[in-house]
Structures are given as structure tokens and as C-alpha cells.
Chain A
Amino acid sequence: MLTLIKGGRVIDPGNLDSIMDILIEDGKIVEVGGQRSEVGSQSSKLKAQSSKLKVIDASGKIVTPGLIDMHVHFREPGHEYKETIKTGCMAAAFGGFTAVCTMPNTNPVNDNSQVTEYILKKAGLADLVRVYPVAAISPGLQGKGLCEYGDLKDAGAIAVSDDGNPVTDSQLMRRALEYAKGFDLLVISHCEDLDLAGCGAMNEGAVATRMGLAGIPNASESIAVMRDIALCELTGARLHIAHVSTTESVRAIRNAKKRGALVTAETAPHYFTLTEDAVEGYNTNAKMNPPLRSMQDREAVLEGLSDGTIDVIATDHAPHSSIEKDVEFDLAANGIIGLETSVSLSLKLVEKGVITIADLIAKMSTNPARILGLDFGIKKGKPADITIIDPDITYKVDAAGFQSLSRNTPFDGWDMKGRAVLTMVGGKVVFGR
């Protein structure tokens, strides 16, 4: 079976950016070239097999290496009413993602190879996008010891993280970084000083004070960012900092990178799109951890994206049902879904001139691939994981029509411009509109 993606603007950051055709055979990219080159109608192979050729017209669209969301929560096993691996994969495909990294805070926790294998088995049955399980740093996310990273890596774990339950013990965090280094396993850190965050429900500041909600100060994040950078430099291990939300964190990461620390960082669309004002009216769909911050912090995150301090845009897709969200603000669960709005929100950055389209694709595809050690790209011989984005299509977000089982998004009803229109994994179209 041959597929030809024809006439799109092919962008593989630092590699390609021009109108090209891509020929795909047996799930792999077999030829990439300009329209006047061999890949066009001149190709002898095409002529010979033209009856079996499937042509995807990508003219006016952007063709990119498959997008990777390296921070999602699929709730299986344990909370399948919020999201299953299958519905999560459907949401990912719908949003233009060909691969996702699933966080370990399932029930049971993904802290042993059996759970990792279970997740991969379910992902295989869904047969949509690639699922790379992130295993726990410590058994039960309890921060008391090390999981079996060797066994976990063999089973298919791509990284370790105690996401949501940050490791408070600095000695354990040091050992985790050191031990993971032996398997070249990435450590992803959710940076939060739990004591300082206290019982806070939103960003500390005037809005929280007026609303009578306990605040979470910026320092509760940056203290942990600075500690983990210190441990990263101490151990020489690779560290990836999840969902950066504050000015001070961006600054600390920028300085660490200048010193040559092996640190990378991600932020989520809500941190560069919204501020704490979104909580107004006790909106639980604006409640997440870290919380939405001030205007100044949002600016700092934008700057971090623009100057390359922040390598990755990841959604922290966190499905919750009305059971967790239609309650008093203090009691509501943290997190929002993001897979199905991420591309559109990120494209706004390009429209505003914060980053270029090539930067955006780097942050949503090639950077996460590099950080995770995955081998993709628009190149002969690579798996045909490809996303096609229509940058001009306009639409209104309708959460009711989402593939995700959950509806907890603050972006319902937003006017958007640009979205993924086709998602191809290993040569197979898993989503197309």
C-alpha cells in the first residue's frame, strides 16, 4: 500500500521547510522531495502501482512530524469513568498527536512492570496513537524508595516521574536521578514544595485574597525547580521539569541551561493562555496544579517559549468528571483536559508572533522526541508518523463533541483558528476530517 501526501508545506524543524510530497509505503516514509523531483508523478514506482496509490491532498496545509504530548493522564487502570486508554488515544488522535506519555498516577500506580505492560497492552488494542508509559519514581508515589527502573524500562517505560506527588526527600531525588542515569531513563519532575503550597487552591495574590481562597505562592514551584536543578548538576543526570508556570522557574531554568545543566522543560497551553483571572466565579475548570498564575508570570512563560528556555508544549491532559468538578472550589480536583485544544491554542502563539511555526512544531514534536530518545522525523526510512495541520480553518470549541470521556476544559466555546486535520501513525490514518 502506497500513500502520497501531496503539495503540503512540510516542516521538520532545522531540517525541512518547503512544499513537498511524501511517499509512504508499509508504514514508513520512502521518499521525500520537491514536487518536481522524483517523488512526483515521475516516480517509476508510482507509475507502476498507481492503481494502489492513495493520495492525500495537503495543499495549503502544514505537514509535520507527528506531534507528541509528553504529559497526559489517562485514567486506566483505576478511574476508567474519567478516561480510558482508548478514549485518551482517540482524543490524542483528534488533537493531532501521534504519541503520548502517560503519567503513572493510575490505580494501581504504574510502579512495576506488570502495570506498564497492562497499559501497553491496552494501547495496542486501541491501535491508534503510540503510548509511552511514564513509570513512578517511587513505589506507590510515596517518595520512600526507588522503583525497579531496569525492569520498568524493559517493559516499555520511557521515563520516571512521581507527577503530582513530588519527591520531598532530596536524598531520594538524588538517588533517583543517579540510578535512572544508568538506564538512560529520563526523570520528569513535578516541582512543588508541598508545605509551602499548603492548602492553597489557586495562585496567591489579590484575586485569591478577594475571593477568600488560600493562595499558592510562586516560590512553592521555584524552590523545587532550583533544588532539582542543583541535583541535576550534582548527578549529571537528565532532568525534565514539568508544567512550568512561574517567572522564577523560567529564570532558574534559563540560567541552568546557560551553565550547561542537562535540564529541559515544558509548559502547558493554559499557562501561556490564561491567568488567575479565569478562576473568577469559582470556576473549577480553571483549577489546576500548578495554578494559573499572574499576567507577569504568563509573560515570563511566553518569553521562555520564545527564547527556547522552555523546550516543550505538553498539555497535562487531566480528565475529571462532574463528580470531581461540580463541587465547592476547594474540594474540586486539579486539572483540565488539553489534547483536543492544544494545537489551536499553540497556533495563537504563532499568530501573535511569539514563536515561529517551526518553533511550535519543534516544541510539540521534535523536541519531545529528542528528550525522550524517540526516532521520528520526516526523513526516508522513518516511521510515517505525520500530522497535517490546517492553519486557516476556523471553528468554535465544542466540548460536548470531544473524544475524551471528560469535559473539564475552560476553553469550551472559544473561537479558534487552525487545527489538526489528519493524524497518521505508522502510515495509518487514525484521524482525519
Chain B
Amino acid sequence: MQFAKKDILDMESLSVDEIALILDTAQQMKEISKRPVKKVPTLRGKTIVLFFYEPSTRTRTSFDIAAKRLSADSISISGSASSLIKGETLVDTARNLEAMNPDVIVMRHFRAGASHMLAKIVRTSIINAGDGMHAHPTQSLLDLMTVRENKGKISGLRVAIIGDISHSRVARSNIIGFIKMGADVVLAGPPTMIPKGIEILGASVTYSVNDAVCNADVVMMLRIQKERQNSFLFPTEREYAMVYGLTMQKMKHAKKDVLIMHPGPINRGVEIAPEVADGPYSIIIDQVTNGVAVRMALLYLTAGGARNVDAD
């Protein structure tokens, strides 16, 4: 199958076949990272711009390493260093970047729809590395890959996503991604953090973490942003940890082969207890490893690398 998409903007616009192709490609890419010499010439001569309006360590590093392992030239631009602070509009910045002929622009922005806007304007491929509360497709793809690796399948699994669903682009992309690949998704959190109309995406909702954890094959915890306390979403971190945090106590209700995931960075002792994060069911660190593989696959597929990565 040929990958025909110019951009990777969200999980909605990817077909089941395209997702499967990305995951299969990522699985091949993963092997490269295990070699003593972790570099193939596949994207030699290609230019990747990492355009991060919003600060990010993990995602940017992951993309940067992915680009370098494929021999592409990667350039990082951050929000504070860009022309943004000089008053240039996003559209103008994008047109200027495009004029320098990069092959892919990886963009993170704190406003929903920013990468969609860019994709409409420029010919360059856009990979959305997170736009506001809207979408984080590369995270969803690496989560799908990690679950598939561990469970051998995605279809038929029950996935619980727990925490601040309202403000989470990871939740939105994973609800769409997992349901598309045949899983059942249940959401849990305080009612203040469950957005209106979320059921339309096909997920069910409970306010009880125990109910969500019970019978789940995968439990995905979401980060609580401490500054959200100011918008009256929850009273204190103490109460949040007690009622909605994933503790060993709540893990008693879980299946014996449950997988614990978290997109990071984690707040130890808030949404997830240290014993759970570091426990035997946790695949949080695998997620990060697979992040590089998925991003290599996406850069390869969008930047139009050689037909066969193993040909070097």
C-alpha cells in the first residue's frame, strides 16, 4: 500500500489501513534504534523543521532523534525564538518557512486547528505534534503501537482513559484511534473534566475510576495540570489523588494482565502513585521508545524516503 497523505493532522483523517501501515512501518523502524550504528541514509538530503510554539521536551527530542536516525537534517524553532514574539502571524511564519523548501514541518501549537490552518496554506507536509486541546496523532499512534506490541492486537480490547478528558488532546486522539482500530473506550474522571458531547466519539463515560479500571485491558492515565486548579475543576491535588488517582488500592480491581500507560510527564502521587507507575504492568517507558519508531515511520512516509528502509 502506498501512503498518499500529505499531512498527518489528526486521527480522524487517517484510515484503518493507513494506521496499520504506519504501525507496521514503525515496527520495522524500531529495529534501527537497536543497532550499534543507529542511522540509515533513507532521508539523506531531506530537511525537517521542528516548529514548536509550545514548549516540549519529550516530543521534540523524539522527532529530532527520529529525523537524525533517518539522516535527515532537522532544525528546531521554538515559540520564544521565532518571529512570533516579533508580531509575525502564524501564516506569515509558515510561508517564510515554506520558502526555504523544507520537506516536512513538524508543528506543535497551543491553539486548536493551528496545524490544519498551516496545512491548507503550505505545500510542505505538516505533521501535527499537538494542537491545543484538539489532537496529538503521533502520541495516539505510538500508544496504539505499544498496546499492539504487548497484546498482539487492539481490536476487542477495553481501554480506560482516566483524568482531565476536557483539556486533553491525547485523550481525543486516543478515543478516535482506539475505537477506529476496534477497541472499546471508557472514560473516567470528575464530571468537571468530562467535556459535553464526548459520547459522540463513541466512548462511554463513568465518574468512577474503579468502574473504569475493572475489566480494562489498558488503563491510560492523563496528566493533571496543576494550574487547572484555578479554573475550579478540582479542589486540591490531595483529593484528586485520593478519588481519581491510580493507586495500588484501585489496581486490585484490575485484570491481572492490565497495561498501565501515561503520555507523560507524570505527576507522581497525583494522577498516578509511584508504585503503579514503576510497577510491573507499567509500559510508560515503552511508550517513549516507540515514540521514536512511530515518528521515524511518519517522517519516512511523508518525506517520501526510499522504498525499502532495509536496503542500506
Question: Is the CB–CB distance between A207 and B134 below 8 Å?
Answer: no
Question: Is the CB–CB distance between A328 and B113 below 8 Å?
Answer: yes
Given A206-B196, A206-B197, A329-B112, A212 and B132 contact (CB-CB distance below 8 Å) = yes
* Distance of A157 Cα from B158 Cα, bound (Å): 64
Interface presence of B262 (CB below 8 A): no
Given A327-B89, A330-B132, A210 and B112 contact (CB-CB distance below 8 Å) = no
Question: Is the CB–CB distance between B89 and A326 below 8 Å?
Answer: yes
How many residues of chain B are within 8 Å of chain A by beta carbon? 26
- B161 to A: closest C-beta gap in Å: 14
* Distance of A327 Cα from B121 Cα, bound (Å): 12
Interface presence of A215 (CB below 8 A): yes
Question: Is the CB–CB distance between B196 and A212 below 8 Å?
Answer: no
Interface residues of B in 191-211 (CB under 8 A from A): 195-201
A328: contacting residue among B114, B135, B199, B231, CB under 8 A: B114
Interface presence of B309 (CB below 8 A): no
Q: Produce 1/0 per residue, A328-352, CB < 8 A to B.
A: 1111000000000000000000000
Question: Is the CB–CB distance between A212 and B91 below 8 Å?
Answer: no
* Distance of A330 Cα from B133 Cα, bound (Å): 11
Q: Name the residue on A nearest B114 (C-beta).
A: A328
* Distance of A214 Cα from B113 Cα, bound (Å): 12
Question: Is the CB–CB distance between B113 and A327 below 8 Å?
Answer: no
Number of A-B contacts (CB under 8 A): 70
Interface residues of A in 364-421 (CB under 8 A from B): none
Interface residues of B in 110-143 (CB under 8 A from A): 111-114, 116-117, 131-135
Question: Is the CB–CB distance between B200 and A211 below 8 Å?
Answer: no
* Distance of A314 Cα from B113 Cα, bound (Å): 31
* Distance of A198 Cα from B134 Cα, bound (Å): 18
**Dominant SS among interface residues on chain A:** loop
Q: Name the residue on B nearest A201 (C-beta).
A: B112
Given A214-B133, A327-B91, A209 and B113 contact (CB-CB distance below 8 Å) = no
Q: Name the residue on A nearest B176 (C-beta).
A: A210
Q: Produce 1/0 per residue, A259-301, CB < 8 A to B.
A: 0000000000000000000000110000000000000000000
- B299 to A: closest C-beta gap in Å: 24
B113: contacting residue among A205, A206, A282, CB under 8 A: A282
Question: Is the CB–CB distance between A210 and B172 below 8 Å?
Answer: yes
* Distance of A282 Cα from B133 Cα, bound (Å): 13
Given A328-B90, A328-B109, A331-B111, A210 and B201 contact (CB-CB distance below 8 Å) = yes
* Distance of A195 Cα from B180 Cα, bound (Å): 37
* Distance of A212 Cα from B134 Cα, bound (Å): 4
Interface presence of B295 (CB below 8 A): no
Question: Is the CB–CB distance between B133 and A213 below 8 Å?
Answer: yes
Question: Is the CB–CB distance between A281 and B132 below 8 Å?
Answer: no
Question: Is the CB–CB distance between B196 and A205 below 8 Å?
Answer: yes
* Distance of A414 Cα from B116 Cα, bound (Å): 24
Interface presence of A192 (CB below 8 A): no
Question: Is the CB–CB distance between B117 and A328 below 8 Å?
Answer: yes
Which residues from A are CB-within-8-Å of B111?
Answer: 328-331
Which residues from A are CB-within-8-Å of B46?
Answer: none
Interface presence of B69 (CB below 8 A): no
Interface presence of B169 (CB below 8 A): yes
Question: Is the CB–CB distance between B134 and A205 below 8 Å?
Answer: no
Which residues from A are CB-within-8-Å of B12?
Answer: 210
- A321 to B: closest C-beta gap in Å: 12
Given A328-B109, A329-B113, A212 and B197 contact (CB-CB distance below 8 Å) = no
* Distance of A326 Cα from B195 Cα, bound (Å): 28
- B168 to A: closest C-beta gap in Å: 9
Interface residues of A in 182-221 (CB under 8 A from B): 198, 204-215, 217
- A210 to B: closest C-beta gap in Å: 7
A212: contacting residue among B117, B133, B199, B200, CB under 8 A: B133
Q: Name the residue on A nearest B89 (C-beta).
A: A327
* Distance of A327 Cα from B117 Cα, bound (Å): 8
Which residues from A are CB-within-8-Å of B198?
Answer: 206, 209
* Distance of A72 Cα from B287 Cα, bound (Å): 54
Which residues from B are CB-within-8-Å of A207?
Answer: 197
Question: Is the CB–CB distance between B132 and A209 below 8 Å?
Answer: no
Q: Name the residue on B nearest A323 (C-beta).
A: B89
Which residues from B are CB-within-8-Å of A326?
Answer: 89, 91
* Distance of A213 Cα from B135 Cα, bound (Å): 11
* Distance of A346 Cα from B200 Cα, bound (Å): 32
Given A328-B117, A329-B111, A329-B112, A212 and B135 contact (CB-CB distance below 8 Å) = yes
Which residues from B are CB-within-8-Å of A282?
Answer: 112-113, 116-117
* Distance of A210 Cα from B133 Cα, bound (Å): 9
Q: Name the residue on B nearest A283 (C-beta).
A: B113
* Distance of A212 Cα from B169 Cα, bound (Å): 7
What 17 new A-B contacts, CB under 8 Å, besides A212-B134, A282-B112, A328-B109? A206-B196, A206-B197, A206-B199, A208-B196, A209-B196, A209-B197, A210-B172, A211-B113, A212-B132, A213-B133, A217-B196, A281-B116, A326-B89, A328-B90, A329-B111, A329-B112, A330-B111
- 6 closest pairs, A vs B, by CB? A212-B134, A206-B197, A282-B113, A212-B112, A212-B133, A328-B111
Provide a sorted-by-A list of 10 A–B residue pairs whose CB atoms are within 8 angstroms.
A204-B196, A208-B195, A209-B195, A210-B172, A212-B172, A282-B112, A327-B89, A327-B91, A328-B114, A330-B132
